[in-house]
């Protein structure tokens, strides 16, 4: 009966194999076939050399000798060519697997909500998986390698046993005491026992090393994550580059990375190097010892005349190979089991619940059918004690224009993130047309939102592709979106117009654009999407006053009969909204129109408005009562 831990190990390996099969069909089968060929190749020479020596020492038939040499060379060559051809195919399959596995992991990452992405335990889990894969060759990519070693070892063991069996078991009825000892079954058994003990030591040694290496790299995942982030992401990031120079962050980063990343990581690498050295030294001693034993065994058998000269070479090579193959086979089995430690981490990650994809209902709404409602929604960011939203309840109806204002950190963006299902409420829920938004299919749900976040991202693709967020795009629609965002004229001046690539990272002729231009393209992207719900989070923060005025003058046109949610610190720009919600410390403290809210002189809105207006008022040395500022004056604020 297979014991529990073996069963568990087999299950993990089976699951790993099924992922490999799914992503790179045929890779396992081809690799295994190649390993059978590789195992066979040395035995052709081992076997045929004995046949040739026997022929040379006995009949010396030249035709036969030529045939034997031909079979040896031809057979070896044929198998080598075949193995080489398969190697090429295997390499392609491996490349395919690596690329697809990266997508597979990314798909998993994208299926998580932001709470999961920011959860330090999950981040660390991902770092451990990556450190395992790239630093110690552990995890899913190691399965095929270990399996092929097992098959190669197995085939090798079988053939070596077949070849050496005759010699090991050969006996003779000679009277000499020494010779009868050599030829006794005990002598052969002793040799086998010595080999088994050596193999046992090798496997134990390998197991111990694998376990220690796994532990070392688990501890080191955070150090590695530190190096990865600061050296390969932060320092290489174009935006960070400015801060690094202006604030001379280089020393700070290098010192910190050295302390928290490089030095501990170096210790780990040295530690594993030492472990591997120990492992190889022990193995070297063992293999020299086994080789010596086999020499004595075969030599004495030959001395006793029990085996022929040809059999000496064959048997020596076969037994030596047998010992190595058994050791390799056992080590590979032990390694594939140790590798399950890495697989367990991977599967824990892959099995994390996919909250985003739980909903199945396909959402299709037209512009007249919206009603979004927050029901006592509270939320805290992962590992944060403080509530970013506290008991938010509010409604947003179709075709409405809602402005959200409030101090920094009052929860405005967080509310949008929850609405876009990047996070789930800790308590309370959000409904769309009476149904919890979680119940809708995630992609179909998001299709209904055009959002421009404060920290939007454009890609190093063409302007057309950036606006359409796809490879193919409708040129007319892109132009009209660009016009709506007030950047069409600028794009027309570019040599390649819509085909013009942004940024120089991949295109020599790519262009770098200003923050305001980027924001306009991000706005155009939202317009192009033409979703029934438009959310703009500080959409004009980077725009000059004229561009800003232009965007607002087109705002109604841009939004059309869609539902719009609009976050801004520019209170004057909120006046055209039907409703203004004032956020404060995670709560909605006021709701009303601009005029209604201004009448409450104790209210936050009045305070914010006053603070902003005061600045202009002081500047203009104008003592006009704020409540009597007319519309033209508001537009300056
Ligand atoms: N990813 C995050 N992890 C932890 N805390 C966060 C995170 N994002 C925001 N917060 C905290 O949540 C609170 C609300 O932030 P939010 O971004 O919603 O404010 P906001 O009103 O949009 O601010 P601003 O006007 O500055 O854009 C703040 O205290 C902020 O520090």
For 512-551, the pLDDT digits (tens) are 888 888 888 999 999 999 888 899 888 777 777 777 777 7
Tokens coding 25 = 């069909």
Q: Whose CA is nearest to atom 26 of ligand 1?
A: 408
> What is the pLDDT averaged over residues 558-564?
82
Name the band, by pLDDT with cuts 50, 70 and 90, for residue 480.
Answer: very high
Whether 455 lines ligand 1, by a CB cut-off of 6 Å, is no
Record: fold of 4-355:
ABC transporter transmembrane region fold (1.20.1560)
Pair 518, 486: CB distance under 8 Å:
no
> What is the pLDDT averaged over residues 429-437?
92
Q: Whose CA is nearest to atom 24 of ligand 1?
A: 408
Name the band, by pLDDT with cuts 50, 70 and 90, for residue 459.
Answer: confident
- Examine the pLDDT at 76 and tell me if it is beyond 90: yes
Task: Mark 236-272 as b/e (b = at least 16 C-beta within 10 Å).
Answer: eeeeeeeebeeeebeeeeeeebeebbbebbeebeebb
How does pLDDT run across 597-629, given as a tens digit for each residue?
Answer: 989 888 898 888 888 776 655 555 444 444 444
pLDDT of residue 552: 73
Atom from ligand 1 closest to the CA of residue 383: 4
- The average confidence (pLDDT) of the chain is 83
Tokens coding 523 = 């706005």
Whether 594 lines ligand 1, by a CB cut-off of 6 Å, is no
Distance CA 346, CA 535 (A): 37
Distance between Cα 543 and ligand 1 center (Å):
23
Tokens coding 635 = 């537009």
How does pLDDT run across 359-391, given as a tens digit for each residue?
Answer: 777 766 665 677 899 999 999 988 788 999 999
pLDDT of residue 627: 44
Least confident of 155-164, 466-475, 555-564: 555-564
Record: fold of 460-530:
Rossmann fold (3.40.50)
Atom from ligand 1 closest to the CA of residue 569: 25
Distance between Cα 564 and ligand 1 center (Å):
21
pTM of the predicted model as reported, rounded to 2 decimal places: 0.71
Query: Nearest 5°: CA angle at 380, between 375 and 384?
Result: 170
In this structure, how many other beta carbons lie within 10 angstroms of the beta carbon of residue 30? 19
| Start-end of CATH 1.20.1560.10 domains in the chain | 4-355
pLDDT of residue 630: 45
pLDDT of residue 624: 42
| Start-end of CATH 3.40.50.300 domains in the chain | 460-530
- Give the SS3 label for residue 429: strand
Whether 411 lines ligand 1, by a CB cut-off of 6 Å, is yes
pLDDT of residue 587: 95
Closest CA to 531 of 417, 364, 416: 364
Whether 381 lines ligand 1, by a CB cut-off of 6 Å, is yes
Pair 469, 525: CB distance under 8 Å:
yes
Whether 241 lines ligand 1, by a CB cut-off of 6 Å, is no
pLDDT of residue 582: 94
Considering the chain, what percentage of its residues have pLDDT values greater than 90?
A: 30
Considering the chain, what percentage of its residues have pLDDT values greater than 70?
A: 90
pLDDT of residue 482: 93
Q: Whose CA is nearest to atom 1 of ligand 1?
A: 381
pLDDT of residue 237: 66
Least confident of 94-103, 193-202, 302-311: 302-311
Least confident of 98-102, 480-484, 499-503: 499-503
How does pLDDT run across 572-604, given as a tens digit for each residue?
Answer: 777 778 899 999 999 999 999 988 998 988 889
Pick the residue with more confidence: 480 or 552? Answer: 480
Complex ipTM: 0.98
Q: Whose CA is nearest to atom 3 of ligand 1?
A: 381
Distance between Cα 410 and ligand 1 center (Å):
7
Pair 583, 411: CB distance under 8 Å:
yes
């Amino acid at each position: 009966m297979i014991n529990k831990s073996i069963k568990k190990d087999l299950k993990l390996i089976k699951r790993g194999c099924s992922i490999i099969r799914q992503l790179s069909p045929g890779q396992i089968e081809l690799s295994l076939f190649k390993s059978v060929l590789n195992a066979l190749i040395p035995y052709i020479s081992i076997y045929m050399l004995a046949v040739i020596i026997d022929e040379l020492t006995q009949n010396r038939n030249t035709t036969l000798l030529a045939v034997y040499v031909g079979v040896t060379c031809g057979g070896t060559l044929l198998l080598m060519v075949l193995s080489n051809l398969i190697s090429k195919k295997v390499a392609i399959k491996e490349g395919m697997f690596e690329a697809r596995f990266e997508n597979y992991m990314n798909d998993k990452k994208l299926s998580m909500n932001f709470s999961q992405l920011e959860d330090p335990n999950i981040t660390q889990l991902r770092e451990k998986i990556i450190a395992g894969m790239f630093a110690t060759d552990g995890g899913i990519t190691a399965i095929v390698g270990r399996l092929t070693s097992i098959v190669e070892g197995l085939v090798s063991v079988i053939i070596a046993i077949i070849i050496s069996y005759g010699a090991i078991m050969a006996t003779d009825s000679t009277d000499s005491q020494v010779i009868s000892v050599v030829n006794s079954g005990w002598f052969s058994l002793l040799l086998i026992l010595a080999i088994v003990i050596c193999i046992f030591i090798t496997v134990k040694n390998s197991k111990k090393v694998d376990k220690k290496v796994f532990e070392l790299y688990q501890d080191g995942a955070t150090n590695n994550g530190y190096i990865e982030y600061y050296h390969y992401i932060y320092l290489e990031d174009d935006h960070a580059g400015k801060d690094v120079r202006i604030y001379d962050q280089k020393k700070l980063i290098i010192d910190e990375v050295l302390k928290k990343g490089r030095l501990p990581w170096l210790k780990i690498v040295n530690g594993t190097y030492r472990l591997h050295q120990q492992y190889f030294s022990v193995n070297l001693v063992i293999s020299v010892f086994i080789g010596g034993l086999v020499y004595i065994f075969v030599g004495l058998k030959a001395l006793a005349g029990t085996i022929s000269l040809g059999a000496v070479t064959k048997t020596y090579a076969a037994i030596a190979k047998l010992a190595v193959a058994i050791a390799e086979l056992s080590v590979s089995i032990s390694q594939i089991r140790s590798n399950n430690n890495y697989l367990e981490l991977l599967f824990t990650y892959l099995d994390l619940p996919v909250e985003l994809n739980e909903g199945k209902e396909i959402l299709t709404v037209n512009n007249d059918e919206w009603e979004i409602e927050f029901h006592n929604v509270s939320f805290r960011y992962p590992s944060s004690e403080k509530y970013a939203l506290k008991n938010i309840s509010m409604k947003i109806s179709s075709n409405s224009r809602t402005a959200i204002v409030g101090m920094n950190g009052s929860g405005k963006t967080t509310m949008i993130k929850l609405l876009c299902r990047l996070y789930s409420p800790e308590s309370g829920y959000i409904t769309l047309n009476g149904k919890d938004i979680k119940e809708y299919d995630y992609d179909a749900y998001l299709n209904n939102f055009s959002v421009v976040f404060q920290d939007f991202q454009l890609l190093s693709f063409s302007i057309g592709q950036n606006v359409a967020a796809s490879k193919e795009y409708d040129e007319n629609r892109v132009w009209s979106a660009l016009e709506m965002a007030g950047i069409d004229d600028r794009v027309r001046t570019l040599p390649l117009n819509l085909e013009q690539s942004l940024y120089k990272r991949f295109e020599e002729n790519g262009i770098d654009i200003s923050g305001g231009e980027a924001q306009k393209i991000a706005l155009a992207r939202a317009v192009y999407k033409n979703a029934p719900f438009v959310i703009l989070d500080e959409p004009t923060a980077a725009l000059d006053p004229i561009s800003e005025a232009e965007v607002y003058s087109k705002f109604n046109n841009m939004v059309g009969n869609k539902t719009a949610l609009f976050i801004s610190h520019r209170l004057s720009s909120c006046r055209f909204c039907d409703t203004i919600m004032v956020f404060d410390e995670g709560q909605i403290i006021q709701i009303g129109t601009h005029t209604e809210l201004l009448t409450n002189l104790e209210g936050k809105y009045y305070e914010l408005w006053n603070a902003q207006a005061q600045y202009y008022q002081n500047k203009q040395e104008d003592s006009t009562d704020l409540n009597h500022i007319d519309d033209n004056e508001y537009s300056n604020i």
